[in-house]
Every structure is written in C-alpha cells, then in structure tokens.
Amino acid sequence: MITVKNLHKSFHTQNGTIEVLKGIDQQIEKGEKVVVVGPSGSGKSTFLRCLNLLEKPTDGEIWFEGQQINTPQCDVDLLRRKIGMVFQHFNLFPHLTVRQNITLAPVTLKLKTQQQADEQAMSLLERVGLSDKAGAYPGQLSGGQKQRIAIVRAMAMEPDVMLFDEPTSALDPEMVGEVLKVMKELANDGMTMVVVTHEMAFAREVGTRVLFMDGGTILEQADPETFFTHPKTQRLQDFLDKIL
C-alpha cells in the first residue's frame, strides 16, 4: 500500500544542512499497524510527515496505492484525502464547534452534504463517547477529548491509512488511556495505521510490526514479540533498557 524507497530528507538551517533521514526503505501493507519507536531526533516524525508530504522528501521515492506521490504530477490535496493524520498537539480548529471541526473537510470538498456529514459526525462521536460534545468548542474540552475528536475528524474523511504523530505525548497521563482505547478500536476495525509513539504497551499489544529508528535510519524491525524480547542490536537493547 505504501512503498518507501531510499528516502532522504535534509533541512536547511542557518547552521548548515541537517540530514534527518538517511535512506529509509519500507513496505507497508494494507491492514498493517506499524509502530515507529526511537529516541527523540531520530527522524520518526519526519518519516511520518513525509508519507503525506507535509515534508517534501529530498531524495528517494514514496509510492501510495500504486502511484508515486513525490512527483510534481501528484495531486497532493487528492492524496491527503486518503491519508488521515493525527497530531501531537491535536490542532483542532478553535473557532469551530466539534461538529464543524469534523464536517468542515467532507462538506467543503463536496464529498458529503452538510446533513450527511452531520449524521456521520454524530455516529463517529458516539463511537468515541463524545456525542454530548458536538456543540462544544475545542477550548472547552480536555486534552484527551480533543485528541479523540481529532481522530474522529481524520476518520470522517474515510481515509485508507491513518498516521499518528505521537498522539498521546501532549496528554496528562490519566488521559492517555482513553485515546489509546479509540486507537485500538480503530485498529480492530482493520484500519491501516502508522503510529509514532513512546507507548510501548500499545506497540506490543496493537502493533503488527515495530520499527526502531535511530540517527535517520531504521535500525531494526520485527513483530512486537521478537522486538521487545529478542532485540538484535545493542542500540535497541540499550533503548529498551532505558524505557521499560
């Protein structure tokens, strides 16, 4: 479904060029739940953001559903409809109600009428237990509620794959559970997911494959069981020792 070949990404800063991704090769199949872990600065988020072109790859190829996406011919807006994204800081639209947050894109892009979108929003809100918040503004919600709404907002576009960029990192510890629960349900429904996270329990329980990134490359990847119990590299062993 997603094929990444020799992906490179550099950022130009005042202090020179920083190479964040140094050649990533990945094949992600439909229905997989790929969890990406690694220390900060290892390029996890950049890798994820390259998949929907929020970052433009410097070199290499990214293919999505049989189409190369990092070419000028690719219609980025059309592509992004198929790739949902959930951000660390939620990025809900503060000037719109919860319902408007969810229905804005489907209605503006003429994929649904306002009425259809409203109905869909209500049934999605019910699934995440927030149907009573439809008329509320993001400023009135807790972090966990905001993130659940953000997930619903991405789901309303009925994407083929969903990307999660540290979805629980900005949350109070007591709110992490409610967000992970929604993500687990989404996984059980068969959604293809790529999740950057520090939640090892989630990686273990939900992931079908875990990637370990360090220094801009994928150092190791395996199914969760092997990944956590039999790490092959010393670097991963050290990383796991520190966080588990």
Partner 1 sequence: MQPISTAASASFFSGLSGQFYQCFVQDNRYQYILTGLGNTLVITVFAVLIGVVLGTLVALIRIAHINNPQKLRVLNGIANLYLTVIRGTPVVVQLLIMYYIIVVGTPISDVGTAILAFGINSGAYVAEVIRSGIQSVDHGQIEAGRSLGLSERTTMVKIVFPQALKNVLPAIGNEFISLLKETSVAGYIGIQDLTKSGDIIRSITFLPYTPLLTTAAVYLVIVIGMSALLTKFERRLHRNDNR
Write the CA distances from 229 to 177, 237, 240, integer angstroms.
24, 9, 10
How many CB atoms lie under 10 A from the CB of residue 170?
14
Which sign, positive or negative, has the C-alpha torsion 130, 133, 139, 141?
negative
Map the footprint of partner 1 across residues 36-65, applying CB under 8 A. 52, 54
Map the footprint of partner 1 across residues 90-119, applying CB under 8 A. 91-95, 104-105, 108-109
Stretch that binds partner 1, among 35-43, 58-66, 82-90, 190-198 (CB under 8 A): 82-90
Is residue 77 within the footprint of partner 1 (CB under 8 A)? yes
Adjacent-strand bridge partners of 200: none
From the CB of 139, what's the least distance to partner 1, in Å? 4
From the CB of 90, what's the least distance to partner 1, in Å? 8
From the CB of 148, what's the least distance to partner 1, in Å? 15
Number of residues binding to partner 1, judged by CB under 8 A: 29
Is residue 74 within the footprint of partner 1 (CB under 8 A)? no
Burial 28-42 (b: 16+ CB within 10 A, else e): beeebbbbbbbbeeb
Quick one: which of 33, 133, 148, 153 contacts partner 1 (CB under 8 A)? 153
Chain positions contacting partner 1, by CB under 8 A: 52, 54, 76-81, 83-85, 87, 89, 91-95, 104-105, 108-109, 137, 139-140, 150, 153-154, 157
